[in-house]
Amino acid sequence: MSTQDRVTIHKLPTGVLGLDEIVGGGLPEFSFNIIAGAPGSGKTTLAHQFVFANASPERPALYFTVLGESAIKMLRYQQQYTFFDPAKLPNSIRFINLSQVVLEKDLGAVLAEIIKEVEKANPAVVVVDSFRTMVRKPQGSPSEMDLQSFIQQLALFLASWQATTFLIGEYAEDELRDNPIFTVADGLFWLCQAAERNSIVRKLQIVKLRGQASVTGLHTFRITDGGLQAFSRTFGLSGHKKKEPGSKRLSIGIPDLDKMMGGGIPEGDSVLVTGASGTGKSVLATQFIAEGIRQGEPGIVAVFEERPQAYTDRAGSFGLDLVTPQHDGKLLILYLRPLDLSVDETMNEILEAVKKIGAKRLVIDSLAGFEMALSPGFREDFRESLYRMIFALTGIGVTILSTVEVDESFTEFPFSTYSISFLTDDIIRLRYISIEGQLRKILVIIKMRGGSHSQDVREYEITSDGLVIASERLKGYERLISGIPERVSQSGEKE
C-alpha cells in the first residue's frame, strides 16, 4: 500500500509543552488512552491540559468523575493553572459525576450512562477519572470477564463515536502484564515520581502508542503554573538533520590561542577548558563569547556558580562589554541553579534560548556547577545526559565551550574529574606551575579532533585585557606539566 493510500491519522495537540514531540507530533485522534501513575503524579492535570486544548462548543469534552477527587475540588485546584480557561465551562467542557451509578449499579449501568451522555453531547474528548476506582468498588467487584467486556465495549463505542478517550487510574508497574485494560488501550502514558534525597523527580513514559512512533524511554517532566511540561530525551530534536561539520573556524578572541588551535575552534565542536580555580577558565570563556558577538555570532552563557550580573561585571573589568549585546538580543546569560533540575530541563532552556537569538556559541560555566544544580538522581546519569546534550547541540551547529575545574596535583595531570574527555572534540588545559619562586600559569592544547594543533606549552597571564599568551613557548624547562618544572641548560642538563 502506498503512503497516499493509507488513512491519515490526525494528531491532536496534547496541550502539554514538550509532549507533542514525545508522542510523535500529537495524540492520534479517536485513540483510547490510559494515563496511569501514582497519586500526585499529575494524571488529572495532564488530562485537563488535553481537554482544555481540544474541547470546543461544537465538539465538547465530557469529564466523568468517579469516586475520586470531587469535581468541585478538582475545579478549585485546576483553575490555578494558566491553561484553565473558565470560558470553556460548561459549554465546551462538562463535568459529570458517575459516583452514584458506580456505587449503586453494575458496570453495565455505568456503560449505559456514559453512552447516554456521549450520544447527547457528541464529544471530541472523553475522560474517566478515576477509572481505577470505578472497577475497584468495595462491593460486587466485577469479574475479570465483566471488566474485559466492559472495557472493550467502552473502547469500541467511544472510538465509533469519534471521541479521543483518556481513562485515568492509579496502577502499579507490575499490573502492566495482565490487566486487560492495557491490552485494549491504544496509548499508555505512565507517570511516576520518586523522592531522591531531598528532591522529587518526575518522569513519564509512553509505554505504547498505536499508529505512530513516539520517543521511547523515560522523559522528565515538571508541574509548573502552566501544568505539566515534558522534556524529551531527544530534546525536541528528533528528526532534525544533523548539520554537517564545515571548515569554518571560530576565533576565541585570543589570537595566539587561535593559532595554537590551527586557526580557531572548528565550528560545531565541543571544547573543554579545564584547570584549577583561578586559572582563567571563565575569562577564556568570556572572551570566546565576546569575540563571537563581535563577529555577529550570537551567544549564550549558562552560568551556575555566579549570578549574571556578577558575570557581566567581571567581563567588564576585562574590557568586554556583555551589557550592550544583552540589550541588543545578541547575548543571553542563563542562570540555572534550582538544585533539582534535570539535564533535559536545562537543555530545554538552552535550546529555547538558542532558538530565540539564533545562537552560534554556547558557554557552560561550569560543568561542576551544572552537576550541582541537578537533582541527585540526575547526577548519576550526568555523563550520559551530557553526552546527549552535547550531541544534540553540536548537531544543530552550535559550538560549545564548557569549563570544568580540576584539582591541581603536582603528580598527575588530569584533564577533568568527570571522565568526560571523550565527549569533547577539543581540550584546552590550564594549570599553575611553580617557577623561580613564582606561581605562574601555562596552557596546552591536549586534543583537537578536527586536526593538528600546537604541541607547545605556553605561559599566559590574566591581564586587564583578559587572557594573554606569551609570544613564545616556555623554553629552558622540562616537566612543565608536572607543575614543578626543572630548569635545564642549553646542553640539556638539569641545573
Positions that interact with another protein (CB under 8 A): 65, 70-73, 75-76, 79, 86, 89-90, 94-100
For another protein, the closer of residues 90 and 437 by Cβ is 90
Least CB distance to another protein at residue 94 (A): 8
For another protein, the closer of residues 97 and 454 by Cβ is 97
144-160 vs 107-121: helix crossing angle, rounded to 10: 10
Q: How far is CA 472 from CA 444, 446, 456, 465, 466, in A?
A: 13, 18, 9, 19, 18
For another protein, the closer of residues 137 and 360 by Cβ is 137
Least CB distance to another protein at residue 302 (A): 39
For another protein, the closer of residues 128 and 442 by Cβ is 128
Q: Is the peptide bond before 60 cis (omega within 30 degrees of 0)?
A: no
Q: What angle do CA 24, 30, 31 make, to 5 degrees?
A: 55
**Cα separation, 167 vs 466, whole angstroms:** 60
Residue 407 CB-density burial (10 A; 0-12 exposed, 13-18 middle, 19+ buried): exposed
382-395 vs 343-357: helix crossing angle, rounded to 10: 20
SS3 state of residue 244:
coil
Least CB distance to another protein at residue 91 (A): 8
Least CB distance to another protein at residue 98 (A): 8
Question: From start to end of 163-252, where are the E strands?
Answer: 164-169, 187-196, 199-209, 218-224, 227-231, 249-250
Q: Cell triple for residue 183?
A: 491490552
101 residue type, one letter: V
For another protein, the closer of residues 70 and 277 by Cβ is 70
Least CB distance to another protein at residue 223 (A): 21
For another protein, the closer of residues 135 and 469 by Cβ is 135
Least CB distance to another protein at residue 15 (A): 19
Least CB distance to another protein at residue 160 (A): 24
Residue the block writes with cell 552560568: 303
Least CB distance to another protein at residue 48 (A): 14
Least CB distance to another protein at residue 87 (A): 8
Q: Cell triple for residue 435?
A: 617557577
Give the other-Cβ count within 10 Å of 18's Cβ: 22
**Cα separation, 201 vs 192, whole angstroms:** 8
For another protein, the closer of residues 27 and 118 by Cβ is 118
**Cα separation, 486 vs 495, whole angstroms:** 8
For another protein, the closer of residues 101 and 433 by Cβ is 101
For another protein, the closer of residues 81 and 432 by Cβ is 81
